């Protein structure tokens, strides 16, 4: 077998391969022999069909199958011989497929980029530290109570944060418009659910009262047919209900799976959850800074095949998340290219760091992570046992731990500054940069 390789771009390779005719003929004859043993042809006993008849009937198919298999196996042999690492399937260009002659074809494909990860010293990381103060815990308890707010009918004028049951009809230029009317809708004043001015216009209304609101749809309203237009809403208030926060009692605690130990036990459990969230938030922010630093200091070219595969994965995820009657390939690739490129490049860089530093998942950290996740459940031992009985889930945790070890490896050489902040600042999500 003869092989020659041409570098057409930084990552694309054009590999010419010539396979001796004897190898093809051997494969063709092997298939014909197999066919002869089981072929059922009228006028012949099974296994007694003359080879000339077998070749006449099945020769073309046998040759086509043999060529396909030889191309596949010879391509694999060639990339191993040339020490190439293809990133995706090759495009095959046949040059000579004539019977009795050597098989010649060209395989065009991309390879994984070869690089060494460097620049750790140029990466800067701000590592936050914080504690869950009693005031933070008290605020969280208030949030939990508000999330479980009940509404009771009140015989008074509506106030902000009250829940109104309303009927309304919306008109533009005197005509009722689609989606602008409803009956029995529950609306909490101040929630920002309706267009500007709608909720504010109902403050002070009483049950049984009708109000007419003249409002303007925002210029950036999602329904372009209504954006910027003036509308008249006739609103009838059916009931006014005021919010009632639940008491911190046994009934409230039971909603969170805590049936004993009272307020002190509840505060302890809530604090544990907050501390777990705090650790994850700090770890996530450090990791994001490290990954951003690795991207900035290690620019690499991305194989188109990997980028295309990642775009397809993101398309499928988007359809699964948002649903709707749409197929993944109907979503524009441009929507996902930036995110796909980041994920592919980081995947290559992280894999190279693992290789360079010969990193392997620390099994003690794997167990620690599983126990941390399991602690959020009522029966953590069962959760831990489940992970260790499911190899796929266990390997996913190992991958996360290995990524953490990559972060730790970078931090050993990066410029790290520690900063003490409040709990709220530590857990606050990082805002995405605004587009210019």
DSSP for 169-223, written as a single string: EEEETTEEEEEEEEEEEEEETTS--SSTTTTGGGTT--TT-EEEEEEE--TT-SS
Looking from the CA of 392 toward its CB, the CA atoms found within 13 Å total 0
- Give how far Cα 125 sits from Cα of 44, 250, 354, 426, Å: 80, 44, 20, 14
User: Which CATH number is correct for 277-427, 1.10.3120.10, 2.30.40.10, 3.40.50.1700, 3.30.70.360?
Assistant: 1.10.3120.10
- Give how far Cα 130 sits from Cα of 196, 197, 326, 385, 422, Å: 38, 40, 45, 32, 6
Nearest to 304 by CA among 3, 4, 1, 10: 10
Residues in the chain: 436
Same fold, 150-244 and 277-427: no
Query: What CA–CA distance (Å, rounded) separates 295 from 303?
Result: 16
Query: What CA–CA distance (Å, rounded) separates 399 from 407?
Result: 13
Question: Domain map of the chain by residue range?
Answer: 2-110, 150-244, 277-427
Query: What CA–CA distance (Å, rounded) separates 128 from 364?
Result: 25
Q: Which residues of the chain have pLDDT under 50?
A: 434-436
Instruction: Report the alpha-carbon angle 263-264-265, nearest 5.
Output: 95
- Give how far Cα 44 sits from Cα of 36, 38, 48, 197, Å: 11, 12, 6, 90
Q: Give 431: exposed, middle or buried? Use CB within 10 Å, 0-12, 13-18, 19+.
A: exposed
Q: Give 123: exposed, middle or buried? Use CB within 10 Å, 0-12, 13-18, 19+.
A: buried
Is the pTM higher than 0.85? no
pLDDT of 434 reads 47
CATH 3.40.50.720 corresponds to the domain 2-110: no
Q: Residue 64 region, left (φ>0) first, then alpha (ψ -120 to 50), else beta?
A: alpha
The CATH-assigned architecture of domain 150-244 is Roll (3.10)
pLDDT of 76 reads 95
Nearest to 160 by CA among 198, 199, 111: 199
- Give how far Cα 55 sits from Cα of 39, 47, 64, 97, Å: 12, 14, 13, 18
For the record, the structure tokens of 396 come out as: 């996913």
DSSP 111: B
Query: What CA–CA distance (Å, rounded) separates 163 from 128?
Result: 40
């Amino acid at each position: 077998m003869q092989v020659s390789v041409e570098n057409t771009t930084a990552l694309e390779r054009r590999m010419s391969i010539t396979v001796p005719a004897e190898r093809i003929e051997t494969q063709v004859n092997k298939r014909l022999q197999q066919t002869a043993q089981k072929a059922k042809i009228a006028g012949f006993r099974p296994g007694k069909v003359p080879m000339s008849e077998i070749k006449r009937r099945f020769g073309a198919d046998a040759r086509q199958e043999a060529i396909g298999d030889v191309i596949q196996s010879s391509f694999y042999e060639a990339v191993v011989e040339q020490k190439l690492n293809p990133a995706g399937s090759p495009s095959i260009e046949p040059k000579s497929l004539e019977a009795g002659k050597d098989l010649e074809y060209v395989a065009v494909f991309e390879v994984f980029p070869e690089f060494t990860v460097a620049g750790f010293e140029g990466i800067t990381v701000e590592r936050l530290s914080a504690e869950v103060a009693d005031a933070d815990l008290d605020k969280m308890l208030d949030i939990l109570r508000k999330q479980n707010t009940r509404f009771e009918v009140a015989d008074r004028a509506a106030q902000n944060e009250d829940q109104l049951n309303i009927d309304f009809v919306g008109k533009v230029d005197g005509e009722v418009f689609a989606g602008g009317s409803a009956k029995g809708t529950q609306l909490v004043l101040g929630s920002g659910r309706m267009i500007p001015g709608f909720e504010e216009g109902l403050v002070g209304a009483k049950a049984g009262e009708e109000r007419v609101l003249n409002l303007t749809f925002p210029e950036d309203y999602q329904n372009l047919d209504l954006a910027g237009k003036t509308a008249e809403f006739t609103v009838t208030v059916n009931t006014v209900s005021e919010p009632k926060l639940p008491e911190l009692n046994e009934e409230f605690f039971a909603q969170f799976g805590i049936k004993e130990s009272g307020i002190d036990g509840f505060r302890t459990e809530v604090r544990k959850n907050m501390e777990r969230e705090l650790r994850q938030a700090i770890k996530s922010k450090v990791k994001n800074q490290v990954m951003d630093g690795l991207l900035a200091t290690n620019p690499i070219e991305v194989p188109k095949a990997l980028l295309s595969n990642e775009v397809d994965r993101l398309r499928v995820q988007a359809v699964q998340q948002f649903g709707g009657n749409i197929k993944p390939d109907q979503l524009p690739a441009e929507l996902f290219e930036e995110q796909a490129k980041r994920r592919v490049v980081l995947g290559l860089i992280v894999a190279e760091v693992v290789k360079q530093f010969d990193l392997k998942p620390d099994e003690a950290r794997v167990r620690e992570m599983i126990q941390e996740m399991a602690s959020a459940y009522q029966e953590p031992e069962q959760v831990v046992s489940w992970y260790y009985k499911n190899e796929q889930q266990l390997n996913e945790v190992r991958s996360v731990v290995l990524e953490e070890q990559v972060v730790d490896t970078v931090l050993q050489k990066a410029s790290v500054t520690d900063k003490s902040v409040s709990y709220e600042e530590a857990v606050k999500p990082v805002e995405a940069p605004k587009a210019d």
